[in-house]
Amino acid sequence: MNKRLFAIGDIHGCFDSLKELVENKIQLQKVDKLVLLGDYIDRGDKSKEVLDFIIDLQDTEFDVVPLMGNHEAMLLDAYENEKNISKWIQNGGNETLKSFEINSANDIEPKYIRFFKSLKYYYAFENYLFVHAGFNDDALNPFTDYYSMLWKCNKTYTNPLLSDKTVVHGHNPVNVTKCEERDLSKHRVINIDTGCVYKDNEGFGRLTAYDFNNQRKLFV
């Protein structure tokens, strides 16, 4: 069986959508590779379930590559220094605490902290670069600027280390209709964050995967 390649955009606690996308739309097999672009937690109401689902896929030897998102980074900052708690809470951290049924980031079980600390900032595979947000196009070595990988999106890249690659990212929600209409196979920068958690906002509220073998988008 041929190995298939997929990526999924920002999940933000939308566990039901993630489960439907992985199990029914993608029908993920152990020979496939799935890259997750970060932001598994916050804002949505099932952050813990999302994390348990991802960890279980890893534990049962599915080829899943989860990347660091800015929300995981904010949680780790809050866990390691309480002066960073307010920033995380203001960005949806309360929903994560509720999902875990705890009152503080310090109460999160060690296995989840280990998971967060294990996350890669980017992943290179074939001619693709997967990242949560983007890269610092002006840096001599863009792979050393972790802040940009978590927070800064670019529509194009001219850096010689980036310009001949296809960059796949999330972080900055795009309208579902525009994402559906756009032939992503013709673009060097692919954004597949369609704002799954923003179901009340017209044009958003879907979780998106990209099927690289068939160059098509899958929505839930």
Whole domain around residue 205: which residue ranges?
5-219
Model pTM greater than 0.85?
yes
What pLDDT tens digit does each residue of the chain (220 aa) get?
Answer: 579 999 999 999 999 999 999 999 999 999 999 999 999 999 999 999 999 999 999 999 999 999 999 999 999 999 999 999 999 999 999 999 999 999 999 999 999 999 999 999 999 999 999 999 999 999 999 999 999 999 999 999 999 999 999 999 999 999 998 888 877 778 899 999 999 999 999 999 999 999 999 999 999 9
- DSSP code for 68: P
User: Looking at residue 36, which CATH number applies to its domain?
Assistant: 3.60.21.10
Total domains present in the chain: 1
The first and second tokens of residue 142, run together, are 């863009």
Burial of 138 (0-12, 13-18, 19+ CB in 10 A): exposed
The first and second tokens of residue 109, run together, are 């079980």
The kind and range of the H/E element at 116 are helix 110-118
